[in-house]
Structure 1
Amino acid sequence: MITGRVLLLNFSYEPLGTVGVARAVCMWFRGKVFVEENDGANVLRSPSQTISVPSVVRLRTYVNVHRKRNESTMKRARIYIRDKYRCQYCGDHRHASDLTLDHILPRAQGGESTPQNLATACVPCNQRKGNRTPEQARMPLLTSQRYLSIGLDRVLLCHYAESKPEWKKYLFMEEFEVEQKIAA
């Protein structure tokens, strides 16, 4: 059986997450989804038919999704992925064990532990910044606050999309890629 992930879109083209290839094919056979993009390289064969492996599927009906406000599940790893394992103050790429999460607005000044207020920092930069804002410490962020505000669920989808270029148009990644290149 072919393994891999398939991007699942709501009827409105809103990304919902990923499903396995087998589940996507079952959903297609049951008439639950439209196939928007095919893998192109892989096919599934049965005695009576051959089908291309889907890469992006879209639900045939709209599903109302209630997003959880607390995105704490795997927050640290997702923030490292969002920031591409790069210190947001000096730009150094580091291993996860050499990185910390920094509160952009320190907790002592009313900052919360939300993904929008957390940035990846190396230990020396985090210690140098201390209990100050980036402006107070004269350590500007290399990535814009707008980019840091994208949801952590979307971060994982964008991470998967690095190896699946056909997903990019459904995740609206081009805008963020341009913004990151400008910041770098």
Structure 2
Amino acid sequence: MLPAPEACPALVLNADFRPLSYFPLSLWSWQDAIKAVFLDRVSVVAEYDRPIRSPSLTMKLPSVIALKEYVPADRRPAFTRFNVFLRDSFACQYCGDDFVAHDLTFDHVVPRSKGGRTTWRNVVTACSPCNLIKGNRLPHQAHMHPLRMPYEPSAMELQENGRAFPPNYLHESWRDYLYWDTELDPV
């Protein structure tokens, strides 16, 4: 039985054949991928075994597509809760334990009530128990110092961190484009 087209997203590569984004992984729906193919904006690099048909055409759904024009990456990443978690590798910066995103919060190293701002350089990833223990105190008052002081990461650093957290679904045709730095098995 063939998978539904909705179960066949296309991995989107930049013109240099690197994914546009690792985390979240740059995926397009099958409809957007087909539209881009017909508008000649992408090249098909790999295909699913799943064909689609129109009255005048049959084609396989693209599984990997590459943009024909290079899209430069943003130099400064957006300051979002998720990007803070990604910068800190989804680890509480007080206890060091790893968590999934929905079990994390962020902590103002210098609390807002003490003049701290919500910026890259004052916010760290924290688990709820550590955040509650630290509370509205400065690190030296709580005897809790971040394992790594907060800083503004580069877009490239966030991309590299994202590579360490593969998505739940990976089609085999994507692997050559997602893991360029893995050691190859000798033949």
TM-score, with structure 2 as normaliser: 0.57
**Relative to total residues, which structure has the larger helix share, 1 or 2?**
1
Task: Give the AA of the match of 1:69.
Answer: R
**Residue 6 (str. 1) matches residue 6 (str. 2):** no
Aligned to 1:57: 65
CA distance in 2, matches of 1:86, 1:30: 43
**Residue 44 (str. 1) matches residue 52 (str. 2):** yes
| Structure 2: stretches of 5+ with no match in the other structure | 21-25, 183-187
CA distance in 2, matches of 1:37, 1:28: 12
1:13, distance to aligned residue in structure 2 (A): 1.6
> Where do residues 55-94 of structure 1 align in structure 2 (5 Å cutoff)?
55-63=63-71, 65=72, 67=74, 69-72=76-79, 75-80=80-85, 87-88=92-93, 89-91=95-97, 93=99
CA RMSD of aligned residues (A): 4.6
Aligned-residue sequence identity (percent) comes to 28
| Structure 1: stretches of 5+ with no match in the other structure | 176-184
Secondary structure, in 3 states, of the residue corresponding to 1:150? helix
Secondary structure, in 3 states, of the residue corresponding to 2:5? coil
TM-score, with structure 1 as normaliser: 0.58
Max Rg structure: 2
CA distance in 2, matches of 1:168, 1:131: 45
CA distance in 2, matches of 1:173, 1:104: 36
Larger RCO: Structure 1 or Structure 2 (Cα < 8 Å, ≥ 6 residues apart)? 2
Q: Structure 1 residues 7-16 or 99-108, which shifts more?
A: 99-108
- Closer, same or farther in 2 for the Cα pair 1:59/1:94, shift >3 Å? closer
Aligned to 2:169: 163
1:61, distance to aligned residue in structure 2 (A): 3.4
- Closer, same or farther in 2 for the Cα pair 1:171/1:120, shift >3 Å? farther
